[in-house]
Structure formats: C-alpha cells, structure tokens
Chains A and B, each alone.
Chain A
Amino acid sequence: MPEVDSPTTRLGADGISRRFGSVVANDGIDLAVRTGEIHAIVGQNGAGKSTLMRIFQGLDQPDAGRVIVDGRPVRFRGPADALAHGIGMVHQEFMLADALTLAENLILGAEPGRWGIIDRRAALDRARQLADQAGVDLDWHQLAGDASVPDRQIVEILRLLYRGADTLILDEPTAVLAPSQVDRLFGLLRALRQDGHTILFISHKLREVMALADRVTVLRQGRVITTIDVGSIDQDALAQLVVGETVEPPQRTACDVGDVILDVAGLSVAGLGDRPALDQVTFSVKAGEILGIAGVAGNGQEALIASLIGLARPSAGRMTVHDEDLAGLSVADHRAAGIGYVSADRAGEGLCRQATLTENAIAGEQRPLAAEARGWLMPGRCKQRAQTIIDRYQVVHGGLGRPVAELSGGNQQRLLIGREIDRSPSLLLIAQPTRGVDLKGIAAIHRELLAYRQRGGAIVMVSEELDELIALSDRILVLCGGRAMGIVDREDASTETLAPLMVGAAAA
C-alpha cells in the first residue's frame, strides 16, 4: 500500500501536477504527511512549494492527481473546505483584517454568541485560554494593523486552532522573524506537536528544518526528490539534494579595483513606528567591485536599495555617486547620475507586465531617446534599441509587440538586467538577481554580472541566497534590524562567518 493511502497519513498528495502555460510548477508530486509529525518541505524558489500549498488550500486545482486526507481523496474548492477537514494555513502574507482587533480577527467566521450578537466575554475568555495554552501574552484589544509581526503570526495560528484545525500549514513562517522570535515560534510548534497536531512547514532555511522537523521532503523543479527522516541526514547532504546538480561556480577572475563609485555615510531611512528601517549605515563601493548585502529578509535590505535609487527618502545621512550627493533627489536624478536598478519584484516593479517588450526595454531611457528627435519617440528607433538588448542578453520572446507577461521568469529577468546594464551605469543596484530563475538562467545572469564588474562596474547586490553572495561578492555587508553588523571580506566569507552577524551578533 502506498503510504499516501495509509491511515496514518493525515494529508497527502497523490501524483499532483499543475502547469501554468509552459511552466510546470508541480510534476507528479507524491507526499504523505503523517499524523502528529512536523513535516518540512524544502526547495529553492520556483521548486513548486507554493503551488502545492495553494492546492492543499483549494486556492488552486491540480491538472492531475488527488489531494488525500486521512486516506480518502478530497476536492477542496476553497480554504473553507480545507478548514472543514481540519487543515488550515498561515500564509506568508498574513491574513488579518487591519481594522479589526486581534480578538475580532480570532473569532471572525465563527463568532460565539446567540441571535447574531457576539458574546464578547466568551470570545475573550477563549482567546486568553488559547494564548495561555500557547504560552504567549497578547493584547487582544489591539488593532491588528498596530500589532507586531510575531503577534500577528501567533494570532493566525491561534485562529486555526480556534477553528478546530489539527493540521497547520506554515509557509516560510520564519522569513519575517528575528532569531528570538523564531525560538518562540518553534517552541509553540513543538508544543502543538505534543498535543497531537500535524504541522507542514515550508522553508528554504535548512538549519531551521534540521532543528524543527521530524521528516523532510525535498522539492526541485516541481518534483519530489526524496522524503527522509531528518535524523538520518546532515545539513550539507540536504543542501546537496535541494540544489541538485551544483551550479557551475562562476568564473571569477581578479580584476582591478578602481576609484570609489558609491560612498554612503550614516544613511538612515524612517520605518514604521519608532524603529528606523535603515539605521546609520556606512560603506563604499569601488569600480570593479561587487558588494553583497546579506541578512534575514526584512532587515533593511529593501530600505537600503530603495534609498540608493531614490525611491525612499533618507531621514539622515549622505550618499554620493562620483562625489555627487544624491540624497533626497528623485529617481530620475539617481538614474541620470549613473545608477541602474534591478528590482527584487520583477513582475510588479522591475517590469510592466501589460506593456510590450519594446516599451519595457526603453522605459527609463524614453527621454534621452526622445531628445534625439525633438520629443518624438520614433517606433523604429525604439524597436532597434529593444532588439539590441534582446539580442545581447538572449531574451527568448514571441514578438517585440507582445506583453512582457508572456515571457518566462528567466527571460523577464534577462530583459530587466539587460535593460539596466545596457545603459552602462557606473553603479548597478540589484536585488534577488536569480529569484525564480532556473539553473541555466542563473549561470547566465552570474556571468553577466561578473562581466559588468570586469568592465569596471560597481554592484550592490542583495540576495537571500547566501551561496550566491559568497560566490560573487568581493565583500559582504550584513544587515540586521536596519544596522550594518559588519563587512566581511571575500576570503573570510562563509555561512559560518555570516550567520552570526545575520542574527545580530556583533562582529568579532
């Protein structure tokens, strides 16, 4: 009997496939999560984790295969169906209504009371009881919009318990948490396992998987590579399984470091509430140098990049490019000063999905192009420019007049990077350069970045992939809580040296 049909299997996938156009997100996935275990699913971005979870929630339907609950096939038409089967999910984007209090969010959809009147006392009693069980202390009268990130996450978990869920799916729950908060979350999850709950834990942080999970399933490119007891594998071997064929390490040759291009001193950006998003960061980048930015997601990387390109106004500090002070100037001024910008949000910010390839390729350069012809954007000239970028960066496409949304992720990224590098900026800001790109694409992008460096370009690169940072960077600056914890030279850069800085330990 395949394990998925076994009575000890709480939640399973039986040959689930799902494709989006030419992209195969899930390719015959078999999975069996046993009752009462903490089961981790690991994989790189684009491995198919999110699609599988959406199917487990009824937010998406498989093209083939079945979802199995307690040995029986089910068909979920929405999260409510899943919840009715005791399966609830905590999304990366928290599902809380900001204008409601935490208590109201807890009971929403299953409010205690009679004749439509909410029994607020009963609701609060139940809320406090759940919080006690979980060992947390919450101000239930606080508006969700004002609550801290970990508190919001806890409320989401408690809401699932309140609704009677015994199986929890958590999608990258630690991405937004500080290390101490991660400990608190893990404590709660272990306590839940003790009470017989089943937990499906999605992550790409292997260290956390090793620390928390009983078993782990590795996904790669939409397929299950293996499911294995955590006790019978070490982290390096697991990493090997996740990455698969190792990315060919980029040919990185020494190159002459030139003058200082970017000089940043005491740069701060205001955040929500009292804590600054970026707190007095100082560094400089020279021509022919790649500065990597490491850190747990949400520790100031976005604020740093946004302020360097002029999207966010610094609250204090100075940033100069070629000795020109740019702090507080517009994005157009930053770009004119020779800065290129590759956004982490490729589809939402880096490119305009509904606009054509040509329009995307010339965006940002429309004024110089028009200046050549008294304000006219000649179609022939625009197409020519787009064609140059497309040829040079090998973008596979279905026509210059087609919307960019039709391109695959890798081709979109090549178009975006091509557009920004082809302007020959002296400084390139790039965030998550290879997110959602396949291995071949990753190698090509790495080559492009190194070639740009070779030509004397300076790069500030934010990435959540430590391996990528270590492989490409000349120096790595580590951010934690908006502060620079230290800058590690290439020779010393390794997971061991970077990790402590990422969780806030001061540099030795």
Chain B
Amino acid sequence: MSDAVPRALEDGLRLAMPFVAALLVGSILLAITGRDPFSTYAELFNEALGGQSRIAATLTAATPLIFTGLATAIAFRAGVFNVGVEGSFYLGGLAAAWVGFAWIGLGGTLQMLAALGFGALVGGLWMLLPGWLRARMDVDEVVTTLMLNFIAIGIALWLVNGPLLAAGSANSATPMVLAEARLPRLIPPSTLNAGFLIGLAALVVYGVWLRLRVGGFENRLVGLNPRFARSVGISVSSVILLAIVLSGVIGGLGGATHALGVVGRFSEGFSPGYGFTGIAVALLGRNRPVGILIGALIFGALTSAGTTVQLFADIPLDLVQVLEGTVMMLAVVEAVRWARRRRAVRAVAP
C-alpha cells in the first residue's frame, strides 16, 4: 500500500510530461512570432472552461476523441498496433448517416439505435481484414491499418460524391439525417449531445471489462507477453482478432455518434484526424479508462478553445495541431529513459 502514492505520482508525471513539453514548444513558437505565450494560454484556458457554453463546447470536442482513444487503447492493450481507427470512424459515420436518412419508416429512437448499431457494425467489419491478416497470416498490422485509412476515406468520398450524394447538393455530402434519428442534445443550444454520455458509458464498460471479465484479462496478458499467453492456453490469435475488431466497433460507433450528434450527416472532411488524435489520447492515458478520459478532455479543450481563439485573437488554430503533434511524439518516450539513457544505449546488445 505504501508505494501506491509514488506510483500514482509517477503515473501523473508520465501523463503530464509530454503535455508540459508540448506547451513549452508552443510557447517558443508563440514567442518567436511575437505573441505572449502566457496570455495566449490563459486565453485558451478561459475559452475552454470559462462558463457553461464553453465547457459544453469542450465536452463536444472531446466526444469523438473518447471513442477514438478508447478504440486505439483496446488494440494497444492487446499488443496490436492499430492505427486504423480513422478509417473505422469515417465508415461508421457514413453508415450511420445512411441509415439516418435512408431508412425512413423505422421511426424515432429505433432508427437512431439502428444507425448507431450499423455504424459500429461497419466499423468492426472494416477491421476484420487487418485483424485476420494479423492473427492468421502474421501480416504486420501497422502498415495494413494505416493503408486502410486512406482506402476508407477514398471509398467514403466516392460514395458521397456519387450514390449517396444529396440531391441538389454541389459539395460532397449526404442528405441530412432525419430529426428523430439525431442524438438528443444535452444543453441546448450547445451541440453537446448524448454521444458524450455513450462515450462515458463505453469507458466504464471498458474499465469493468478490463478488470473483471475474463476477456479483459486475456487481452492484457496477450499484450504483455504473447508467448506466455500462448503457453497457458490462451488463443492468442483469437484475442488479437477480437481486440482489433472491437477497436473497429468502437471507432465506428464514434463516427456514428459524430454523424448523428454533431454534423447531422456525412460530408467530406468528416474527421479532421480524430483517429490519429485518438492515438495520442490512448498513449497519454496509458490505455486506462480515466487516462483516456483526461486525454480526450485535454485535446477537446485545445480544439474548442483554439477555434474561438483563432476567431477573436488572431492566433492560428494550427497551434493546436502543433501541440497535438508534439504530445504524440513525446507520449511514446519513456520518461524514465532520460535518466537511464546511457544504460539503455549500452543495453542494445544482450
């Protein structure tokens, strides 16, 4: 028990380190371009959390990241490097939008649920191929899932420019989803919607699954040491396949909530890289439910604040991207490695 406190502290530091470093990089950039970093950050903070409407905007922006972060974490935890959540998010969003505008007659809530379910299903099915290739054919999942992102985006674009293009619409977008199929808003007029609650519920289920379900236990052991897992009778390939498909399901569900909750349809540029930000979220949160939530909130806050700060204070929104990229790069650095660096370099040879 006595070492619980240092361990929590260490976890906290690990979580904070990349973020603090990113703020530092950001402030250098701000200073070079003649801006005061402190007042900029203060303004960002204020825009993210100052008042109910701003908080609602932050939570809205965090919602897709909860899904993509969680989706990534499920796979990472099983040792599967799925970087293809973006693709599931895209296709899940498109599938949900299609159900939302096309399946007229289901009526109300049922149509909404069908749309969410179909989005999740398509997201999961999309991951079947890389999952099967990894689990049965030993094909490196990093490259296949990365490539599948571009394929998913291409397919989605083709569909919204052709078969699913809204009549009379010049830009690439589907018709609007029926009003009954949209996710209810929590604090009108803010766009914060039930998708956020679904995301929270997914995190809770994930936490319980990890700790108390046999599937979560096997998922963790396979991620930690696949040879060990195999030797105690766990079917490593099934666990890997399940993890990557579940990852797709959550990614697809995220896309569905985004389409039904925020956008109201599927259109070109549906995701500004939520899937990739999700990788940063999962890494920052060390694949744990609370960590993912915190990570998603941080990036959500940055996005929502960045948008308004750009409008009012003439600070390019791209600053948020700079921070995000820096966090991603640093999140994979083992903080302790700084101290052990020399040893680590020597340890290259066994």
Contacts and interface: CB of A to CB of B under 8 A. Distances in A.
Direct contact of A and B (CB under 8 A): yes
Nearest to A306: B231
Contacts of A370: 213-214
A309 B231 contact: yes
B212 A349 contact: no
Interface stretch (B216-224, B266-274, B328-336): B216-224
Contacts of A363: 221, 228-229, 232, 234
Contacts of A336: 233
A79 B349 contact: yes
Contact of A366 (B211, B218, B227, B350): B218
A355 B224 contact: yes
Contact of A330 (B212, B221, B235, B350): B235
Nearest to B216: A377
Interface of B: 211-215, 217-218, 220-221, 224-225, 227-235, 346, 349-350
A233 interface: no
A416 to B, nearest CB: 10
Contacts of A364: 232-234
B224 to A, nearest CB: 5
Interface of A: 59, 77-79, 91, 93, 95, 309, 311, 330-332, 334-336, 341, 343, 345, 348-355, 359, 363-364, 366-367, 369-370, 375-379
B48 to A, nearest CB: 36
B228 A352 contact: yes
Interface of chain B, main secondary structure: helix
B231 A350 contact: yes
Contact of A377 (B212, B231, B234, B235): B212
27 contacts: A78-B346, A95-B349, A309-B231, A330-B235, A331-B234, A332-B234, A335-B233, A345-B227, A348-B228, A349-B228, A349-B231, A350-B228, A350-B231, A353-B225, A354-B225, A355-B220, A359-B221, A363-B228, A363-B229, A363-B232, A364-B232, A366-B214, A369-B214, A370-B213, A375-B215, A377-B212, A379-B212
A334 to B, nearest CB: 8
A352 B225 contact: yes
A361 B324 CA distance: 41
B213 A332 contact: no
3 tightest CB-CB pairs across the interface, nearest first? A364-B232, A332-B233, A370-B214
A354 B224 contact: yes
A479 B211 CA distance: 45
B313 to A, nearest CB: 46
Nearest to A376: B212
Contacts of B346: 59, 77-78
A352 B231 CA distance: 11
Nearest to A348: B227
A332 B235 contact: yes
B126 to A, nearest CB: 27
A330 B350 CA distance: 32
Contacts of A95: 349
Given A332-B234, A379-B212, 13 more contacts: A59-B349, A93-B350, A311-B231, A336-B233, A348-B227, A348-B228, A349-B225, A351-B228, A359-B220, A366-B214, A370-B213, A375-B215, A376-B213
Nearest to B347: A59
Contacts of A353: 225
A17 to B, nearest CB: 18
A345 B228 CA distance: 10
Contacts of B349: 59, 79, 95
Given A352-B224, A352-B225, A377-B214, A341 B235 contact: no
A153 to B, nearest CB: 17
A366 B233 CA distance: 10
Contacts of B214: 366-367, 369-370, 375-377
Contacts of B229: 352, 363
A311 B221 contact: no
Contacts of A332: 233-235
Interface centre among B214, B230, B234, by most chain A C-beta atoms within 10 angstroms, is B214
Contacts of A341: 231
B205 to A, nearest CB: 14
A309 B232 CA distance: 10
A134 to B, nearest CB: 25
A368 to B, nearest CB: 10
A429 to B, nearest CB: 11
Contacts of B227: 345, 348-349
Nearest to B218: A366
Contacts of B230: 311, 331
Nearest to A367: B214
A369 B214 CA distance: 9
A138 B139 CA distance: 35
A367 B238 CA distance: 15
A375 B228 contact: no
B286 to A, nearest CB: 13
Contacts of A355: 220-221, 224-225
B217 A377 contact: yes
Nearest to B213: A375
B228 A377 contact: no
Interface centre among B220, B227, B228, B346, by most chain A C-beta atoms within 10 angstroms, is B228
A379 B227 CA distance: 24
